[in-house]
Structure 1
Amino acid sequence: MLSLTQLVAEELAVPAQQGASDFAAHIAAQYGTAARAVLFYGSCLRSEQLEGEMLDFYLIVSDYQSAYGRGWLATWNRRLPPNVFPFQHGDLVAKVAILSEADFHHLNRPAASAVSVWARFAQPSRLVWCADEDARQSAVLAISGAAPTLLNAALAFAEREANVLDLWQSGFQMTYGAELRAERKDRPSSVISFDPDRYVRFGRAALQHITIAHEVRGDKIVIMPDPDGHIVQEKRRWPALRRRGKLLTVARLAKAAFTYAGGIDYLAWKINRHAGTHIIVRPWQRKWPLIAALFLVPKLLAKGAVR
């Protein structure tokens, strides 16, 4: 069986569509020598549909000062990562989240203050551009922390035994519940059902790197006695992760009002697409996107469009 880092390296190396690779090179070029890697992930990767969609990229930079200089963008990327910007290349559009190599490594591990990065990179992604071999290896190592972090959390809340796909399902439900998300309730299962064999392979490899004691018996993962208290420790941190995750969603939304041109239109498009709503953005909302976003989120929570 391949190791987890080998599986991650192989998956990252699978070629993406040429349009995504060209877009990634365009993104990296805007940041010069600060750019280290560009990762492509999300629904467009799964569907292979690029035209008419909003692509999702993470740009990994050496550090924020190198990426931005000494201005406020560097400060806020460091204090409230990531910064998110809209990009266009040819007929394609994308949102690009920016993290430093150090933050990307940290935010894929259990000590992260929020679930957003490791929840996403426990799913498939592609390394569509990198500066050099060191940057590639850094990305592989960082992403190798994501799946064990998710499955360790899921195992803490499991019954005495579960199969690996049950753990993935539980883990994604937990992470979706720790953010304000505009997806339907069946979203976690649909992500897994797209390629269940992938999640079995990655799950079995990732289970070798978790702290909760367990045994693999055929198709079942059996939880063993926990004298070191890893299960209790994991359970205790989740209420704070859920509270912090929802607050961070609102805070990042407020920050995006200053960094993301057209952000309110993207927010409406995203919610309409995933929650089946019919939000129409009005002129005053484009003029005052922060006020509009703060006005919109409570209404959507009340309707259950975001959770």
Structure 2
Amino acid sequence: MPQSLLSLVAAELSAPADLRAAAMAGALAAQYPAASRAVLFYGSCLREENLDGLMLDFYLIVSDYRAAYGKSWLATANRLIPPNVFPFEHNGLIAKYAVLSEADFARLNSPAADNVSVWARFAQPARLLWAADDLARQRAIAAVASAAPTLLSLASPMAGEQDALSLWRTGFTLTYGAELRAERKDRSLSIVDADPDRYRRFGEAALAQGLPQSPAPEEAMTRWRRLQRQGKWLSVIRLAKASFTYAGGIDYLAWKINRHAGTAIEIKPWQRRWPLIGALTLLPRLFRGGAIR
């Protein structure tokens, strides 16, 4: 009998990870002692053996935003436009981390999400490196386990073939069109091709348990167009918000684009002085040059 999707997700989240990343996750949770519930490690660094010089990616899951920030305006910003994103350094490693409440993390991995940013990431491999207690661990696992069915159910009406790998490839291609992305056009397909056995196993387990109800093809097309419009605007709004929450955010933006798109963007002193304006002035040039798609 094939493994259930929940057991596959639980095993993957519990798999070993770089010890330095695990230590960083614990240090990150300690920054929010009254609110931290779980810390997840995801992204391209998960596959790297040497983390020096790389920007690690974490999600910090908190009980609620008031517990995390007190009465600060950051709590309101996180609630209205989740997530907040911050830089973090620990023992020579650098990272960025996004903050979501347990409720928002569950919602944004589900078909109820109004954008793709969370479920598109957690349909891919991740590690649960720290949890406050067993309940926090089980909630994080359950939330992540809904990401793959969400992606596959929305991809199904748009896919010509209905086998697991075709659904994954269609889903990732569509999600890359629903965000501002610095990666090349073929990046969405390379995700599946890098580990087809993993995506076959997870996809077949999701199909065996039954996907959330898929919309009709016309409704699905309308839904994806809405996700694409809203996702790109949300990316711009989050970029603007990050200029207030993320020290050196404009330099990180340039670094990420240069790394993925092969460009040579250099940030001018005035753009660092006024990062919001500087970031927004980059957008037309990035769209024209195809560095962000």
Pairwise same-fold verdict (TM > 0.5): yes
CA deviation vs aligned residue, 1:51-107 (integer Å, no higher than 9, x gap): 110000000000000000011000000000000000000110000000000000000
2:197 corresponds in structure 1 to 197
Q: CA deviation at 1:33?
A: 2.7
Alignment of 1:8-87 (within 5 A): 8-87=9-88
In structure 1, the residue matched to 2:107 is 106
Residue type matched to 1:102 in 2?
Answer: A
In structure 1, the partner of 2:146 is 145
Q: Which amino acid aligns with 1:273?
A: R
Structure 1 equivalent of residue 266 of structure 2: 280
- 1:128-164 Cα offsets, whole Å, 9 max, x none, are 11101000000011011100111111111012x3332
Post-superposition offset of 1:47: 2.3
Question: Contact (CA 8 Å) 2:150, 2:212: kept in 1 or not?
Answer: no
Residue aligning to 1:239: 225
> TM-score, normalised to structure 2's length?
0.97
Please say if residues 211 and 230 of structure 1, whose CA atoms lie closer than 8 Å, have aligned partners that are also in contact: no
Counterpart-to-counterpart distance in 2, 1:149 and 1:201? 16
Amino acid corresponding to residue 129 of structure 1 in structure 2: W
Gaps of 5+ in 2: none
Q: Deviations along 1:240-274, whole A, 9 cap, x unmatched?
A: 11100000000000000000000000000000011
Give me the CA root mean square deviation: 1.2
- Aligned-partner SS, 1:116: coil
CA 1:210/1:235 → structure 2, altered by over 3 Å: closer, same or farther? farther
Q: Which amino acid is the alignment partner of residue 31 of structure 1? A: Y
Give percent identity, aligned residues only: 63
Moved over 2 A (4+): 229-236
Does the Cα contact within 8 Å between 1:212 and 1:231 map onto a contact in 2?
Answer: no
Aligned-partner Cα distance in 1 for 2:249–2:67: 25
2:38–2:130 CA contact under 8 A, matched in 1:
yes
Counterpart position of 2:256: 270
**Which consecutive unaligned segments of at least 5 residues does structure 1 have?**
214-228
Shift of 1:212: 4.8
Query: SS in structure 2 opposite 1:185?
Result: coil
* 1:289 matched residue in structure 2: 275
Structure 2 residue aligned with 1:188: 188
- Report the counterpart of residue 246 of structure 2 in structure 1: 260
Residue of structure 2 in register with 1:118 after alignment: 119
